[in-house]
Structure 1
């Protein structure tokens, strides 16, 4: 650090990921570039220091954003940060519309709901967090930075996912919300993104292996060949949809992934959690089905000679017949794959539940360098 840097005023910004699962990944990426972003967009004459931390594995759900802000304010005071920003994967609402962010000048803290940012959450967080820090410092009348040269209502133009501002603006308690319809669609897609469907897909590896084994066995029976030839495209599509739906339902029931309303989890939040779980599992099982279908087509082409298939069907065959055979075989094999799902590690399957977050290992707090489990 040069002499000029030591004489510049320092502002410490705490970036907390709650829960320390997917939000921690976004926070880690954002931490590396936030200081330069604050210098560029807020004040270059300040020495910005960004501290990264993890919040509770199971944050309070019944208190909504106010509970998160209270916990964040306590963390800020304990760690002696100037301002604190919480990144969370909890879907939050204000006036029955998705809440993107909320600032509290009194607590010198702000919360950002990552699902409300949609699919491109890191990009949206890059745009929102510096402005939230600037607004917090301006509302708190911090003399180390000039007052923000833009009105709070301009956040809607500065951060595209924000539709309007509500709340007690004069008191520095501001809520930035999304639009009613597009915001809800973006919230659902953001929940699926935050739930990491790729992790659910990898967690269902034994299911895919079981389904592929079932498909390989079914390909050797000429009854399946005749069924595939007799059924039309509409009936094959219905069989596929029923098989996938049954598999998703089986995974939810067998592994207890359904979130029930409780005193700690309000009904609206539990419904969102369940919808996020269903969408994540649907996407993961659909991708598994595509992999199974492609594998079945290749195995069918290698195992079943064209002349043998023509003899059974008593007509000339082409590529369409092999695709139709793979279609019905893959659909029926998904039922066999459900049996394989019972052999999965419970932890890997439960990771698909939106409200479930495994306790992380190996976290070292940036402040003291010691392992922490929260």
Structure 2
């Protein structure tokens, strides 16, 4: 049995994540199971070897998917992989609709756009990547595996988010795109997920501290108690929306999060980055606001006695009065939170910008590790001077 396994042909599949942030987390989970899925879906008589690596921290934006395919093809040749698959969070388009995947038989590579998959990205790549590998091996007429028994256009049926196929099927240059409207909504949802709003929320701790400080001052001001009694739900909603809008705008301006079009970033891509940043910050600040509101309601109920509040507003009060008071104070306190956010660590806040990808600490590309080992081996073998 072991002798037969050693004689099985080996096919090496490289799985590259670019940038090494959200795509690397997806790639790490997929790498652990990809060999088994390839054996199940493509050919069980092949020894599948999966190599995991990084792409560029800031992938080229000006060339779109073509630039990614070219870079990936060079990586495949340099590392002697048979097939290379790239997972990226760079939003890509083909024929003005979101591009989900692009394969190139000539280069023997494929790219998968994670944001275009929406929220259930890992489940989708578990299906798409083995199919893309099998399709590429069939298109290059690799004799180590039998041809796949389905046409390229059938990938749209196998991966539900794919609407149709574009490109030249005979040449093996295939793109798989989403629907125009639902696909764009799914792309933006996927971008927010890739941008990790939870990271932005946890990073804005000083914002909450500043907002709670402002709320504490407001709770001690009897004039605000009386003011809250004269405001209806519509006015309170407008004040809340103005406060949240001001906070998001302050974060973007104060920390230079707005992506500007340039030679390397087309206008459409910069617009997508900015929408992704705005949505991420809006979600993070909205959750922060709810935390602030809950804390303010609790503080008001504990600190302000009902009789004292009734004396100031000159009428009976109940829980809705405390809620209205906390609602107004929380909305006003977001301005104080905006001032506190100016004290945040720059890198922490900039992580909420979609186009900003700091190199993750402690992560090392397999290619870098091998080159460092080779360098140490050369240094160890060099004669002492």
Q: Shorter-normalised TM-score: what interval? A: over 0.9
Distance 2:3 2:246 in 1: 67
Distance 1:227 1:3 in 2: 84
Distance 2:48 2:135 in 1: 16
Asked whether the 8 Å contact 1:91–1:113 carries over to 2, the reply is yes
For 2:142, the equivalent position in structure 1 comes to 142
Deviation at 1:216?
1.3
Distance 1:2 1:74 in 2: 34
For 1:157, the equivalent position in structure 2 comes to 157
For 2:203, the equivalent position in structure 1 comes to 203
Asked whether the 8 Å contact 1:280–1:352 carries over to 2, the reply is yes
Distance 2:91 2:252 in 1: 21
Deviation at 1:267?
0.4
Asked whether the 8 Å contact 1:365–1:371 carries over to 2, the reply is no
Distance 1:110 1:368 in 2: 22
Distance 2:178 2:362 in 1: 36
Deviation at 1:361?
2.7
Q: Deviations over 1:12-40 (max 9, x none)?
A: 11000001111111101111111111111
What SS is found at the alignment partner of 1:149? coil
Q: Deviations over 1:273-327 (max 9, x none)?
A: 0000000000000010011011111111111111111111111111111111110
For 1:48, the equivalent position in structure 2 comes to 48
Deviation at 1:367?
5.7
Distance 2:249 2:8 in 1: 59
For 1:130, the equivalent position in structure 2 comes to 130
Deviation at 1:260?
0.5
What SS is found at the alignment partner of 2:68? helix
Is 2:316 aligned against 1:326?
no
TM, length-normalised to structure 1: 0.98
What SS is found at the alignment partner of 2:174? strand
For 2:253, the equivalent position in structure 1 comes to 253
For 1:114, the equivalent position in structure 2 comes to 114
Q: Deviations over 1:319-369 (max 9, x none)?
A: 111111110010000000001001000000000110000022322333674
Alignment of 1:36-115 (within 5 A): 36-115=36-115
Deviation at 1:170?
0.2
What SS is found at the alignment partner of 1:111? strand
Distance 1:301 1:97 in 2: 52
Question: Tell me, which stretches of 5 or more residues in structure 2 are unaligned?
Answer: 373-385
Distance 2:91 2:273 in 1: 9
Question: Tell me, which stretches of 5 or more residues in structure 1 are unaligned?
Answer: none
Taking a change above 3 Å as real, the CA distance of residues 150 and 16 of structure 1, as seen in their structure-2 partners, is: same
Distance 1:176 1:343 in 2: 44
For 2:233, the equivalent position in structure 1 comes to 233
Alignment of 1:306-325 (within 5 A): 306-325=306-325
Taking a change above 3 Å as real, the CA distance of residues 368 and 188 of structure 1, as seen in their structure-2 partners, is: closer
What SS is found at the alignment partner of 1:265? coil
Q: Deviations over 1:97-117 (max 9, x none)?
A: 000000000000000000100
Q: Deviations over 1:194-225 (max 9, x none)?
A: 11101111111100111011111111111111
Deviating above 6 A after TM superposition, structure 1's stretches of 4 or more consecutive aligned residues are: none
Distance 1:87 1:365 in 2: 15
TM, length-normalised to structure 2: 0.95
Asked whether the 8 Å contact 1:364–1:370 carries over to 2, the reply is no
Distance 1:210 1:131 in 2: 51
Q: Which moved more, 1:311-320 or 1:278-287?
A: 311-320
Asked whether the 8 Å contact 1:362–1:371 carries over to 2, the reply is no
For 1:22, the equivalent position in structure 2 comes to 22
Distance 1:59 1:199 in 2: 22
- RMSD across aligned C-alpha pairs, in angstroms? 1.2
What SS is found at the alignment partner of 1:35? helix
Distance 2:35 2:282 in 1: 39
What SS is found at the alignment partner of 1:48? strand
Distance 2:185 2:64 in 1: 20
Number of aligned pairs? 372
